[in-house]
Structure 1
Amino acid sequence: MVNWKRYKFSLFAFTLEIVFIILFGVLAEYDEPAKPTNKNLTSPVPNRYPMFQDVHVMIFVGFGFLMTFLKRYGYSAVGVNLLIAAFAIQWAFLVRGVIHEVTHGEKIHITLLEMLSADFASATVLISFGAVLGKTSALQLLVMALIEVVLAQINEYIGLDKIGGVDVGESMYIHAFGAYFGLAVARVLYTEDIEDSKGEGTVYHSDLFSMIGTIFLWLFWPSFNGGAADDDEQYRAVINTYLSLCACTVVTFALSAVVDKKGRVEMVHIQNATLAGGVAVGTSANMPLHPWGALLAGSVAGVISVLGYKFLTPMMAKKLRIHDTCGVHNLHGMPGVLAGIVGAVAAAMASEATWGQSYYEIFGKVIPMDNTTELADVMSSYSFIEKGGDGRSALQQGGFQMLALLVTLCIAILGGILTGFLLKLPIFNAPKKGHLFDDQDFWVVQQDGFPQIEVDDMNETHNETKMVLIEH
């Protein structure tokens, strides 16, 4: 008799990849400069590809190695990260293409900018992956990615196109969304077995591997925040992110030593909280924050992230039954909310007098409405403006920025809850006690050098592993 549980993951993955191939064949085509018949068009590769490649490294190396801190889950941290990202990228092309192009009667164009957006979409899922790391099967994670990419892209469409909430570094639409979606899933999937599991934990070398991910993310984060921007906005995004990360790192080290009774630095803070500065300026990265403003935002992010790891994460697990494996609430959730607030305040305080042309470039909705003398005056000063906007005031734009953040949180939390209940269905092979935080449930693992846990903590389905332990 065929054991269908054994083949469900492979069947699901094969089927979806075949569907992707068919849909790409029907709906997608190369960007115009990539077509062999358009030799005279300029390729965007020299200008756009370097920053895309930085983001690509963040997705596959940075996120993957950041999650290798678990002593018995390193294969899954890096390997399943690779699987989810490769899956989500393809799915994001299709979802975004349907929203922005197919519904307007066009083909889906595979452009470098859309490649960057697809990587961003995969980052949303990988952030959620951090909240449920070690507690979900590969099949569950593919289903989660299938749902989350759709919800995240719909949310971004509502936030950017309908509400007009600007977010160049996607701190609201990626980091906050991914964190709170993942936390909602984690809450629904919570069981007492998670807290009782002896598989969760770190060892010296696993923490060291995790720092590899931290360093890659830290180095390339300016490209993440500035990759979708151009000209002076991109320049500011790089500078603001660079300064915010530096300030955040210093504050993280200092505060980590303060909250420890013996004045020592906690590695989990350095692995994660040092990156919160990149999230904190994501929404406002292309805005003229001034260097001191970027340093301040990074410093505040470092404070809330370290305090979150020290006090809030244990409280959430104990009181709210939300087990956040990687602490995504502290690295992505709260700093993402902070970024939305910083962006709203910056928007409310902005003006043409202080920002010049950037005021209208960044906030297209503040352009005066059509058929008004105000629009005629603005168009005479700025030739790039071709049509009217919504005529918002700066204060109104700040309010809409906050609305975009609130809508993001609502869609993320509600979507995560519903997804969590779906993933609880037995068909998706949720790992049981004894398999939590353990690579052996999905991978062929070499026992030599693999950290062992108490045999009594494993359930009867680990009989093969028990025999290996006894022989050793």
Structure 2
Amino acid sequence: MASMWLERLKLPLTLMVVQVIFIILFCAFIDYDDDASPAGIRPKSKAGNGTDGVVEPMEQAAEGPNSLHMYYGMFQDVHVMIFIGFGFLMMFLKRYGFSSVGLNMLISALAIQWSTIVAGLVHNHGDSFTVSVTSMLTADFASAAVLITFGALLGKTSPLQMVIITLVEIVVFAVNEYIGVEVFKAVDIGGSMFVHAFGAYFGLAVSRVLHREDVEKSQKEGSVYHSDMFAVVGSVFLWMFWPSFNSALAVEDAQHRAVLNTYFALAACCVTTFALSSVLDKHSKFDMV
């Protein structure tokens, strides 16, 4: 009886402990940035003479518009991609519809919080740091990497295993990004290297470690009509909002070019894909999957 209860409580207890740790770390290391601080006050600079956490009158208002107005629209688009686009895309397996959407939401919520903490500590060398709307964007990008990994592991892992994988991957992701951006000075606005490639190869590596020959040809691996339909809906959501994903962290004219280039590239690729789908199908029909 005790072992049965222990088995049932492993996941909820792990989640509760992890969430409590997140809250403690948020309280210990994180504060609002200037744009989010209450009007007229801001956290005292570490270079000042005051005690950490004490606030002082703001010497001068930040010039230009609040960063929330600049980035929140893009953030909302990326957020929809994470929770709706990836969520429905992961329904491609016939036996994992509800668990795909549910685990997608759980993993994303964990990754968003953990990546904010880890990335902030890594980039600030263990010191306290501030968060803003751009922190929300970068947290969503980190969760996208984990969800790409999730796509390679769907049906192979338990929820508890995915929680552990998420916690480990976010740390590796943050370190990898820090080395690429700060050491090698790599530019990756659209996340091709640090998000997509990293998430894919991390997922393949974990999948190889968890590989079992006895379930290599499982009957659960496959799709049905409605699972493919939901996966297509998820793909359309991702397709629609990809200009925002590619341009969210770019600035000024570079952001404008990123939106334009991605927008027209998506349209051209869509037409080309439909053409090739018809050519390659033996009945000359479109194949959405």
TM-score norm. by structure 2 comes to 0.88
SS in 1 for 2:92: coil
Instruction: Report the equivalent of 1:69.
Output: 92
Deviation at 1:123, TM superposition (A): 0.3
| Structure 2 residue aligned with 1:36 | 38
Shift of 1:10: 1.1
Q: Retained in 2: the 8 A contact 1:84–1:141? A: yes
Alignment of 1:141-220 (within 5 A): 141-220=162-241
**Corresponding residue to 1:229 among 236, 250, 255:** 250
- Residues 152 and 200 in structure 2, CA contact (< 8 A), matched pair in contact too: yes
Question: In structure 2, what is the equivalent of residue 249 of structure 1?
Answer: 270
Q: Give the unaligned 5+ runs of structure 1.
A: 269-472
The structural deviation recorded for 1:36 is 1.6
Residue of structure 1 in register with 2:111 after alignment: 88
Once residues 10 and 125 of structure 1 are traced to their aligned partners in structure 2, the CA distance between those partners, rounded to angstroms, is 20
Q: Distance in 2 between matches of 1:168 and 1:28?
A: 25
> Aligned partners of 1:252, 1:185: CA distance in 2, in Å?
31
- Mapping 1:389-404, distance limit 5 Å: none
Amino acid at match of 1:45: L
SS at match of 1:199: coil
For the 8 Å contact 1:135–1:194, the answer to whether it is kept is: no
Query: How many Å separate the matches in 1 of 2:137 and 2:30?
Result: 16
Contact 2:85 2:235 in 1 (8 A): yes
**Structure 1 residue 195 displacement after superposition:** 3.0
Question: Which amino acid in the other structure matches residue 217 of structure 2?
Answer: D
- Which amino acid counterpart does residue 21 of structure 1 have in structure 2? I
Give the Cα–Cα distance (whole angstroms) in 2 for the partners of residues 232 and 37 of structure 1: 30
**CA apart distance, 1:209:** 1.4
On the 8 A contact 1:156/1:173 being kept in 2, the answer is: yes
Partner of 1:128: 149
TM-score by length of 1: 0.55
Shift in Å, 1:258: 2.8
| Alpha-carbon offset, residue 264 of structure 1 | 2.9
Q: Give the CA deviation at 1:224.
A: 0.3
Report the residue type matching 1:259 in the other structure. Answer: L
- What is the distance in 1 between the residues matched to 2:267 and 2:215? 35
57, 66, 71: which is aligned to 2:80? 57
Q: Amino acid of the residue matched to residue 83 of structure 1?
A: L
Task: Measure, in 1, the Cα distance between the counterparts of 2:15 and 2:166.
Answer: 12
Aligned 8 A contact 1:92 1:121 in 2:
yes
* CA distance, structure 2, for counterparts of residue 192 and residue 263 of structure 1: 37
Task: Name whichever of 32-41 and 191-200 sits farther off.
Answer: 32-41
Q: Which residue of 1 aligns with 2:19?
A: 17
Q: Which runs of 5+ in 2 are unaligned?
A: 42-60
Deviation of 1:37 after TM superposition, in Å, equals 4.0
2:9 aligns with 7
Question: Is 2:158 the partner of 1:137?
Answer: yes
Q: Report how far residue 101 of structure 1 moved.
A: 2.1
Q: Who is 1:26 aligned against? A: 28
1:115 to 136, 149, 173: 136
Alpha-carbon RMSD: 1.5
May I ask how many residue pairs the two structures share in their alignment? 266
Identity of aligned residues (%): 54
Corresponding letter in the other structure for 1:186: S
What is the deviation of 1:29?
A: 0.8
Q: 1:258 to 1:187 in 2, by over 3 A?
A: farther
| CA contact 1:84–1:145 (8 Å) conserved in 2 | yes
The residue correspondences of 1:407-422 to structure 2 (distance < 5 A) are none
Query: Partner residue of 2:58?
Result: none
> Contact (CA 8 Å) 2:35, 2:132: kept in 1 or not?
no
Contact between 2:93 and 2:222, CA under 8 Å: does it hold in 1? yes
1:151: how far off?
0.7
Shift, 1:227, TM fit? 0.3
Partner of 2:56: none
